[in-house]
């Protein structure tokens, strides 16, 4: 039952965990799918233009009909631009921007331009970076929207570094850089759109360092920054004494802070968030913001002024919500998503640990239960064995007691028989003698034979007395102390007298008891024999046994000096004997006490009086 309970518990726990993890995964799925959609969209955008179907794209159509280029141009001389635009719209369903967004010259430029060649920063996550050979990031998404609006295809020119990208723009190998800060140096070869991304530069330190209000307060400390960053130039011109460790990438710059190689780094919040989460650098904090702003613009090759205007117009059209969406896609959501993912893992690990703990305790409990069960079985067996042993002992005890009684009986019979046997023997010897002397007359013979007959009768009656005495009679009968004692003395008195012990009888009880006479007789016999043994053992002069009855009390006392006080408490214990003779089984008094107290409902006690031991039987008489 317990096992099932635990399994049930585990299942509930697991299902809870699975449910919660699903809940966690859900937004992630939605997010990834939306990201995937956008990615697909962005990916298809540069290669296939506005339409997915290759041949319908204006750019491709144009390429395919390259031979007709001059023809269109020639026609263009006769038809106004509005007319051409209308025609295009009619045939290709394409309209550039919203009505009146772009001037005719600009539209014409766009139709002719077809492709914008783009160079990117391959290593500026999440603003702009290359992954799986595809440029991605906030700037790329923004550029995607722009390109969609103006129906221009984007062609990404692969570069190995940001420096190379800048170089390519200089050499006009590409038209634009999607995200660049306007600097004097770059002004030489590029025009800049108005900034579409504005970031405060965050000061990043370890989280055990104090917060900073401005960069000046920590300008004496070492900082790290990605090599080739425009910021380095800017900082060095502003703070000539600043020490900057130039690193290979942003990750290294941030790692240096985390590892304590430098005191701080300056970076945009999205970049910091991205790398912090990517490498799980929990010991970092945003200690403050510098007053410097990172204003990202699209850098356009210096000679293409028209493109700059078009891009500015397109950027203007991007509303705040779209900007936020893009930003969140690459920063906040990513952060949240990662945090959730970690939370999921933590939850899973915690759950696993809990399950393992539960399992551990379940197994432990089970083992303990098994052990207890086994112990119980063992205990039961031991108890059974102990009971069996006790029963065996009890049986043995009874047997021994019975043997002892039989021994006593034989000894008593011997005493009873000795005299009549001797008499028979003597009588027969007399007959023998008289016959030899020819003196046996008829009368003498008859007299002697009748004597022998009477002695034999005595022997026979003795046997009957003993048989009656030791017969097991489980029936209750009404009797008195006098009856019981007389019956006992009938078989024992001769042996006592033979041993020269004086027997005092002081009978003063007429109380009638309803009890087991034979058992009681055996107790009385046993107590008298006990007194006799003590007297003979100690070789007492003028040995005496006194039997007294008064109402419900019977005492049997001797003048053998009593039982020594250090063993008087053990005198009724089984197998306890002080007798030096071989026939002391140590059971007599034990059996006597059992009979009086358990069978007859009375009490048997021993005290020492001034002469010796005094056994006292108290029974409940009938009123």
Burial (CB < 10 A; 0-12, 13-18, 19+), residue 300, is: buried
- Expressed in percent and rounded to 5, the helix, strand and coil fractions of the chain are 60, 20, 25
Q: Measured from the CB atom, is 143 or 501 closer to another protein?
A: 501
| C-alpha to C-alpha distances, 146 to 89, 180, 300, 309, 490, nearest whole angstrom | 20, 16, 14, 12, 139
Q: How far is the CB of 498 from another protein (least distance, A)?
A: 7
Judged by beta carbon, residue 436 or residue 474, the one nearer another protein is 436
Which residue has tokens 């007359």? 441
Q: Closest separation between CB of residue 455 and another protein, Å?
A: 9
**C-beta of 171 vs 453, nearer to another protein:** 453
Q: How far is the CB of 403 from another protein (least distance, A)?
A: 24
Which two structure tokens, joined as six digits, stand for 92?
């290709």
Give the shortest CB-529-to-another protein separation in angstroms.
18
- Which pair of structure tokens corresponds to residue 463? 């046997």
* Run of H or E including 519: helix 517-537
DSSP 193: P
Other Cβ atoms less than 10 A from the Cβ of 473: the count is 13
Give the residue among 167, 172, 176, 96 at the shortest CA–CA distance from 135: 176
**Residue 481: CB minimum distance to another protein, A:** 28
**Of 401 and 427, which has the nearer Cβ to another protein?**
427
Q: Which is nearer to another protein, 367 or 418 (CB)?
A: 418
Name which of 242 and 494 has its Cβ closer to another protein. 494
CA 414 to CA 466: how far, in whole Å?
Answer: 12
Residue among 279 and 498 whose Cβ is closer to another protein: 498
Taking the complex as a whole, the smallest distance from the CB of residue 509 to another protein amounts, in Å, to 30
**Which stretches does DSSP call E strand in 227-358?**
244-247, 264-268, 284-301
User: Across the chain, how many H-helices and E-strands are there?
Assistant: 18, 19
Count of Cβ atoms closer than 10 Å to residue 433 Cβ: 11
Cβ proximity to another protein: between 67 and 437 the closer is: 437
Place of tokens 């000046």: 216
In whole angstroms, what is the distance from residue 257 CA to residue 245 CA?
A: 11
Length of the chain: 623
Q: State which residue, 343 or 414, has the beta carbon closest to another protein.
A: 414
Name the residue nearer to another protein (CB basis): 386 or 422. 422
Q: Between residues 34 and 500, which has the closer beta carbon with respect to another protein?
A: 500
Round to whole Å and give the CA distance between 409 and 415.
Answer: 10
Shortest Å distance, C-beta 495 to another protein: 12
Residues 6+ away with beta carbon under 8 Å from 479: 512, 513, 515, 517, 520
Give the number of other CB atoms < 10 A from CB of residue 424: 19
Strands 264-268 and 197-206, by their bridges, are antiparallel
Tokens 């650098």 correspond to 281
Cβ closest to another protein, residue 119 vs residue 535: 535
If the CB atoms of residues 276 and 415 are measured against another protein, the closer one turns out to be 415
Closest CA to 147 of 54, 65, 43, 35: 43
Helix or strand holding residue 272 (H, E): helix 269-279
Minimum distance of another protein from residue 465's CB (angstroms): 18
Phi-psi region of 539 (alpha: psi -120 to 50; beta: other; left: phi over 0): left
Smallest distance, Å, CB 512 to another protein?
Answer: 36
Least distance from another protein to the Cβ atom of residue 430, Å: 4
Cβ–Cβ < 8 Å for 429, 421? no
DSSP assigned state of 596: I
Q: Which residues bind another protein (CB under 8 A)?
A: 418-427, 429-430, 432-434, 436-437, 439, 448, 451, 498, 500
For residue 443, the minimal CB distance to another protein (Å) is: 14
Q: How far is the CB of 436 from another protein (least distance, A)?
A: 6
What's the closest the beta carbon of residue 447 comes to another protein, in angstroms? 10
């Amino acid at each position: 039952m317990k096992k099932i309970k635990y399994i049930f518990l585990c299942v509930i726990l697991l299902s809870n965990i699975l449910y919660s993890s699903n809940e966690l995964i859900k937004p992630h799925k939605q997010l990834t799918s939306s990201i995937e959609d956008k990615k697909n969209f962005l990916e298809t955008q540069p290669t296939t233009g506005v339409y997915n179907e290759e041949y319908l794209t204006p750019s491709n159509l144009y390429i395919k009909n390259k031979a007709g280029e001059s023809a269109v141009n020639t026609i263009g001389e006769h038809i106004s631009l509005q007319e051409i635009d209308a025609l295009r719209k009619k045939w290709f369903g394409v309209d550039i921007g919203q009505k009146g967004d772009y001037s005719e010259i600009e539209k014409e430029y766009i139709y002719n331009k077809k492709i914008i060649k783009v160079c990117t920063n391959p290593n500026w996550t999440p603003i702009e970076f290359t992954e799986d050979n595809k440029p991605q990031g906030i700037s790329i998404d923004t550029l995607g929207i722009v390109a969609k609006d103006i129906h221009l295809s984007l062609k990404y020119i692969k570069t190995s570094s940001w420096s190379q990208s800048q170089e390519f723009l200089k050499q006009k190998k590409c038209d634009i850089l999607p995200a660049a800060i306007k600097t004097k140096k770059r002004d030489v070869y590029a025009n800049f759109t108005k900034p579409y991304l504005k970031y405060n530069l965050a000061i990043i330190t370890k989280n055990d360092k104090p917060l900073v209000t401005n960069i000046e307060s920590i300008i004496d400390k070492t900082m790290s920054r990605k090599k080739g960053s425009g910021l380095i130039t800017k900082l060095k011109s502003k703070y000539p004494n600043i020490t900057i460790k130039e690193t290979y990438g942003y990750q290294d710059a941030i790692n240096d802070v985390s590892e304590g190689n430098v005191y701080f780094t300056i970076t945009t919040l999205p970049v910091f968030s991205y790398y912090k989460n990517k490498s799980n650098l929990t010991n970092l904090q945003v200690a403050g913001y510098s007053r410097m702003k990172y204003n990202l613009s699209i850098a356009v090759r210096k000679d293409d002024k028209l493109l700059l205007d078009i891009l500015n117009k397109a950027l203007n059209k991007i509303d705040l919500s779209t900007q936020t969406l893009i930003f969140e896609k690459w920063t906040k959501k990513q952060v949240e998503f990662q945090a959730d993912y970690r939370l999921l893992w933590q939850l899973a690990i915690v759950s696993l640990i809990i399950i393992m703990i539960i399992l551990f305790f379940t197994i432990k409990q089970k083992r303990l239960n098994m052990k207890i069960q086994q112990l119980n079985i063992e205990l039961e067996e031991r108890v059974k064995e102990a009971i069996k042993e006790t029963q065996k002992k009890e049986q043995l005890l009874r047997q021994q007691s019975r043997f002892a009684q039989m021994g006593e009986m034989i000894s008593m019979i011997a005493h009873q028989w000795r005299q009549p046997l001797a008499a028979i023997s003597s009588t027969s010897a007399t007959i023998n003698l008289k016959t030899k002397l020819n003196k046996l007359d008829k009368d003498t013979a008859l007299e002697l034979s009748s004597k022998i007959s009477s002695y034999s009768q005595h022997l026979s009656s003795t046997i009957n007395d003993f048989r009656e005495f030791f017969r097991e009679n489980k029936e209750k009968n009404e009797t008195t102390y006098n009856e019981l004692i007389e019956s006992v003395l009938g078989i024992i008195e001769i042996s006592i007298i033979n041993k020269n012990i004086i027997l005092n009888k002081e009978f003063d009880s007429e109380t009638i008891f309803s009890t087991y006479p034979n058992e009681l007789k055996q107790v009385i016999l046993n107590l008298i024999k006990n007194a006799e043994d003590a007297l003979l053992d100690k070789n007492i002069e003028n040995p005496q046994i006194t039997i007294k009855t008064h109402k419900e009390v019977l005492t049997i006392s001797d003048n053998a000096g009593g039982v020594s006080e250090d063993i008087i408490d053990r005198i009724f214990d089984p197998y306890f004997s002080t007798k030096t003779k071989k026939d002391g089984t140590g059971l007599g008094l034990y059996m006597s006490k059992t009979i009086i107290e358990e069978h007859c409902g009375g009490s048997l006690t021993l005290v020492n009086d001034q002469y010796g031991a005094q056994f006292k039987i108290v029974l409940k008489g009938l009123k």
